[in-house]
Structure 1
Amino acid sequence: MKSIKSLATWYFSKAALPYWSILILDCLFVVFAGVLAYTVHHGSEHTLAVMGSLSVTLCVFLICFIIAFRVFHTYDGVMRYSSFSDLLRVSGAVVMAVVMCFVILLAFGSSDWLVEYSYADIILLGLFVIAFMWTIRVWVKTIFEETSRRKDTRKAFILGVQTGGVALAKNIRSSSDSPYTLAGFVSPDPNMENRRLMGVKVWPFDEGLVDVMKRVDSDVLIVSPLMMNEIRERESLVNYIVESGIRIMVVPQAREWDGKSDLRVSDLHPVNVEDLLPREKIEVDMKAAADLLHGNVVMITGAAGSIGSEMVRQIATYSPAHLVLIDQAETPMHDIRLMMHNRWPEIKAETIVADIADERMMERIFSEYRPKYVFHAAAYKHVPMMEDNPYESVINNIKGTKVIADLAVRYGTRKFVMVSTDKAV
């Protein structure tokens, strides 16, 4: 097993396999499948007896397959990135080749230079070719994903077997840098118990889940956005899971999933008290929000925090003219800077590392950019820790908020939205 893994690691570190090598491999599959199909129907002794004529027949059939491979471009993809569409192209090429072989039989079936190859033989040949070509592509893709995966991955279970849970599982499987590997699904639906999804088992959402996860050395439970109400209603079970040393990961509460967009495990964060609070769904007039923010200068303080960073993503979709992003945390701000550059390069974004309690710095920023809308999300939010550090808490949460609010008034800001300072104060 180690030798196979070493060989795979060596291969995948090189350039992609030349397309002609894949074509030759597929042609060998056709020839082998042809001999195998004929042997199944006629026996090995008869096959050996007519091997000369059979070779000529298979060469003719091979021409049909090569033409079909060319039409459907089955050989110019990269095997390690094979997808369902690639497998569909393989099937289409084989069906086309089988039809062409039928035509050959109709036209030249009585010729002495062709072996007696029946329509049933050709159909079986096609099925064998599909099986071989699919297998090699899936096998190469699977080995690539396993060998390129991070060494420090943790086994994770996903709560939810509908769209959200499956989307998270696909992201885990398709991302080579994912910190997780899929170990199982969890569902409160008794009809899903002991079924299999994406090759792993579905377990019930009850007290026995902890024992199941410990048996497979898993300590992460990822919650689908569609299952958030479930964990809010099962408080005692959630407490038991957390107390057992299992980390529960959820999508940021500020993000309302539309059921269609991608879900990335990089967006997950550990569950906190706010995620478990029951809340009514608030309908927001998104068109009105878009009309307000579009083409204007928008400032977000605490832009690198859990809520602030999500606000950056949400507001950027409305195409503001200028985003002024402020936070004290250098590394998270660097991540925000890269995100804006990669996902919204057309939006002018200033990523400023600064302290909101620094009046002179804040005045310079307001004077230069004159934001029309300010979203104030900068605050120390962990109450027990801030009780041990009251000075910093007052300076940042109270004085910092006053500085930003006063400047918003002084420089004619249209709207000032205070997001998270209240609970921390």
Structure 2
Amino acid sequence: MNLLHRQISKIFLIFGDCILITGSILVAYALRFEFQIPSEHWTTVLYMIGGMIIFQWVSFAYFNIYRRVWRYASIGELYSIFKSIFIGTICFVLMNEIFIKKNISISSYILSFMLCLLTFGASRFMGRMYGDAYVPSKKREPAANRALIVGAGSAGRFVLQELKQAANSDIYPVAFIDDDPFKKNLQINGLTILGGREKIKESVEKYNISTLIIAMPSVPKSEIKKIIDICKETACYVKILPSISDMVSGKISIQTIRDIDVEDLLGREPVSIDLGGIASYISDRVILVTGAGGSIGSELCRQIVQFKPSKLLLLGHGENSIYKIYQDLLERKCNIHLVPIIADIQDKKCMEKLFASYSPQVVFHAAAHKHVPLMELYPAEAIKNNVFGTKNIAEMADKYKVERFVMVSSDKAVNPTSIMGVTKRVAEMVIQGINNQSETNFSIVRFGNVLGSRGSVIPLFKRQIANGGPVTVTHPEMVRYFMTIPEAAQLVIQAGAFSKSGELFLLDMGSPVKIDQLARDLIRLSGFEPDKDIEIVYTGIRPGEKLYEELLTSQEGTRATQHNRIFIAQPELFLKQEIDFYIKQLEEAISSNSEEIRMTLKTIVPNFQWKVNEKEQKDVQCVQKYQLINK
């Protein structure tokens, strides 16, 4: 039906063009003869009309004039019309003057060409002119949701155009803001450019603005952060257009405009990676990712498929998460042999069978229990997964001659105060111990909190704001390092390319962020006032948490790599026999109570410190009672 409709529309368009050519030639002759065309010239007029229709139709077909969407016509389309009419006219003139030799004056040619160009251009641009006519519907009265567009470049103009054409949008654009001083007081489609970013607060009050749209996709993130800082001083709801790299072919739609995210507040530029170095150790190899269904593991898989491994093994314990990443990769049509594997890294026999069957050449070990408060209640489970599971995978990598093994660790492993942190530190020690006597290239990558990962505070804050509050913050002075999931995954893969043997890589997390300020910024950028519209409640530091995190122990120094976001720490040396002794201690301790487990961990990691508050003690007792009943 749509095809038939297009064909009918094309026929009507061609018929209309014939009328325009006829009218243009008649007017050209009428102007030449002062609206009194002599009877002896009518034969020439009809001949010229027929010839021009044929030649212009062929020229229009050649330049695809009938395949263009004129509602979005631009200078490019106008140039195409000019070329088509000019070529069609020149061909007709040459045909007539060389072969037919009808007596047609030069003025008739010129007038016909100019009138055809004028009428064709006007007819084609009527759709564009209609689309540019902005008449607000009843659904979006001018006072309903008045918006200020920050950025009067091509992206800002596209945003304005999309807002005009989006019938379901309640956003009413009022004016532009742009830092270019030469644009001040100029207008774009009837909207005035009020001035630079310093005019944002003044304009919000003057024009009763409720929404700010940042349309500057090519501006550095550091500048975007400065603009966001100004926006935070208003009570407006702030939206932003994604970066150019996130948009397909530069196309912008109203759906592309998104809410401000925490990544925008960090103000960091995207990570650049050495594609050649990465491809050299991933391409055409069998890659195993443990914890492939998790936040980091799944993003690792998405990044890895770009480098065309011969096979990608997706290992995870949860069937739903593995199914999800498997389907995601299938939909990307990456043409890579994907193998979803449901298994537990604690099952040594199962891991042995996996390595024997698939012979992975590169392993990214991202599987871990990582929720700090939960692991305080289940220290034995944290040890089984984070320590014993890591040992199983590392030993299989050594036994089956894996080329590279990259373990994902955490800043919570440094001077740990939590079960999660100390078990990750012991896992690091396991890797360092095995590396000393293995042909496999082992390395560890250590970084902090990942935005949007499972258990991250950011999704919690957003849900609490959406529900009207309160927003819960553990402590007003708590600070954390943050990076995005794609950043973390890309840097983990890049660090694997730098690895020579046993390195402990640290990822540059930028400046630490105060959690309390983060919560307040998210509330403001959602159009609310902290402690007025949305209450902030301080709940106290949870078991195992620290006010601030570190990336280095006192024994570790750093040196730079060729990547400005990756550093190498000087790891402590551990003998495999020493690690084996520690593992035996833990195997004996996990059947004991929580206090004895902690004491065993402290003998292995002397700088491990913990505080057991009254609430945690009751929780631990409840867990122990539950475990005894189930035994």
Instruction: Determine if the TM-score, normalized by the shorter chain, exceeds 0.5.
Output: yes
Q: Percent identity?
A: 15
Match of 1:72 in 2: 63
Q: 1:80 to 1:415 in 2, by over 3 A?
A: same
Match of 2:364 in 1: 374
Match of 2:237 in 1: 245
Please say if residues 64 and 100 of structure 1, whose CA atoms lie closer than 8 Å, have aligned partners that are also in contact: yes
Normalising by structure 2, we get a TM-score of 0.46
Match of 1:33 in 2: 24
Match of 1:6 in 2: none
1:422 to 2:412 alignment: no
Per-residue CA deviation, residues 284-317 of structure 1 (Å, 9 max, x unaligned), is 4332122122123152747675x76665554332
Specify which of 310, 313, 322 is matched with residue 321 of structure 1.
310
Match of 2:82 in 1: 91
Question: Aligned partners of 2:204 and 2:289: how far apart in 1?
Answer: 44
Q: 1:122 to 1:33 in 2, by over 3 A?
A: closer
Match of 2:219 in 1: 226
Q: 1:229-308 maps to which residues of 2 (within 5 A)?
A: 229-234=222-227, 236-241=229-234, 243-248=235-240, 250-251=242-243, 257=245, 262=250, 270-277=259-266, 284-296=273-285, 297-299=287-289, 301=291, 305=295
Specify which of 107, 110, 129 is matched with residue 120 of structure 1.
110
Per-residue CA deviation, residues 234-267 of structure 1 (Å, 9 max, x unaligned), is 56414225x433345655xxxx949996577778
Question: Aligned partners of 1:344 and 1:191: how far apart in 2?
Answer: 47
Q: 1:325-340 maps to which residues of 2 (within 5 A)?
A: 334=324, 340=329
Count matched residues.
Answer: 384
Match of 2:592 in 1: none
How much has 1:230 moved relative to structure 2?
Answer: 1.1
Please say if residues 293 and 318 of structure 2, whose CA atoms lie closer than 8 Å, have aligned partners that are also in contact: no
Question: Aligned partners of 2:292 and 2:56: how far apart in 1?
Answer: 61
Q: List runs of 5+ in structure 1 lacking aligned partners.
A: 1-10, 144-150, 381-385
How much has 1:30 moved relative to structure 2?
Answer: 1.7
Secondary structure class of the residue paired with 1:295 = coil
Q: 1:129 to 1:190 in 2, by over 3 A?
A: same
Please say if residues 362 and 404 of structure 1, whose CA atoms lie closer than 8 Å, have aligned partners that are also in contact: no
Question: Aligned partners of 1:331 and 1:36: how far apart in 2?
Answer: 71
Question: Aligned partners of 2:321 and 2:119: how far apart in 1?
Answer: 52
Question: Aligned partners of 1:237 and 1:332: how far apart in 2?
Answer: 42
Match of 2:537 in 1: none
Per-residue CA deviation, residues 334-362 of structure 1 (Å, 9 max, x unaligned), is 5x66653454431234567x8x9985699
Question: Aligned partners of 1:395 and 1:270: how far apart in 2?
Answer: 37
Please say if residues 302 and 377 of structure 1, whose CA atoms lie closer than 8 Å, have aligned partners that are also in contact: yes
Question: Aligned partners of 2:172 and 2:179: how far apart in 1?
Answer: 18
Question: Aligned partners of 2:47 and 2:301: how far apart in 1?
Answer: 66
Match of 2:201 in 1: 207
Two-structure CA RMSD over aligned residues (Å) = 5.6
Question: Aligned partners of 2:177 and 2:368: how far apart in 1?
Answer: 36
Question: Aligned partners of 2:328 and 2:284: how far apart in 1?
Answer: 20
Specify which of 170, 187, 191 is matched with residue 182 of structure 2.
191
Secondary structure class of the residue paired with 1:69 = helix
Match of 1:46 in 2: 36
Per-residue CA deviation, residues 206-230 of structure 1 (Å, 9 max, x unaligned), is 3245458854x64554552524111
Larger Rg belongs to: 2
Question: Aligned partners of 1:51 and 1:104: how far apart in 2?
Answer: 19
